[in-house]
Amino acid sequence: ACLAAQYIIDPDQSKCLDCPTGGICNGSDVQEFLLEVQGDGSELNLTVLWEIIPFNVVASNTEEDRARLIECPAGYLLVRGDLLDDLRPQDDQCAMCPATFYSVQIASWFELNQTLVSNTLAEALTGDKCVPCEAGAVCAGGRSVEPKPGFYSAPVAEARRAWSTRTRPESSPWEQQPHSNLDVGVLGWWSTGALWQSSS
């Protein structure tokens, strides 16, 4: 039997493998979730996706199946060492966008379409692939975006109408604070509101 911090591809043919850095293993599988610690100390269960794929072990010139990370939840970058001369499946993990940055997109790795993927944890922690926090917002990291005092989040229909017409909402004394990267079609904070500030 494998240890709790390991997984196995095929109990009849495979050996026990150490759990990837960003994985949660139970002795048989890499579990498809991560636990995000909240401000009150509670844990939120978020979905991640792993895929079993052939991996060439350069040292022994053999091919083995390994679990590779292919999707992280919004607010995270997908760290996957996949340079041709530096394959590191053991280091696969989801890295939260640091404070003063955020992301509302799911990070994913597919051969022809990679979104929010970093090659190393150090690269991910710079936040350069996350969205910088806008003026008028407080970003604690991950997908957290909260309005500063004097700002508020407008209802989605109102925000979309005002953004599309570049006018203030009907029956409202508020003016929009422009956001150059706004995409109201993306699931997440920006699809449910926009930052507004009193015009007075």
Burial class (CB in 10 A: 0-12, 13-18, 19+), 119: middle
What phi and psi values does residue 174 have, to the nearest 5 degrees? -110, 150
**Alpha helix ranges (H) inside the chain:** 121-124, 156-165
Residue 38 has a pLDDT of 86
In angstroms, the CA 191 to CA 145 distance is 12
**Alpha helix ranges (H) inside 62-195:** 121-124, 156-165
Print pLDDT tens along the chain (200 aa).
899 999 999 888 788 999 999 999 999 999 999 999 888 889 999 999 999 988 766 555 667 789 999 999 999 999 987 765 557 888 999 999 999 999 989 999 987 788 999 988 999 999 889 999 887 888 999 998 888 877 766 554 444 444 433 333 343 333 334 343 333 333 223 333 445 444 33
SS3 at position 61:
coil
Residue 86 has a pLDDT of 59
Residue 14 has a pLDDT of 81
In angstroms, the CA 46 to CA 41 distance is 15
- Assessment of whether the complete model's pTM goes beyond 0.85: no
Q: Beta strand pairing status for 137-141 and 144-147?
A: antiparallel
In angstroms, the CA 67 to CA 49 distance is 10
Residue 134 has a pLDDT of 81
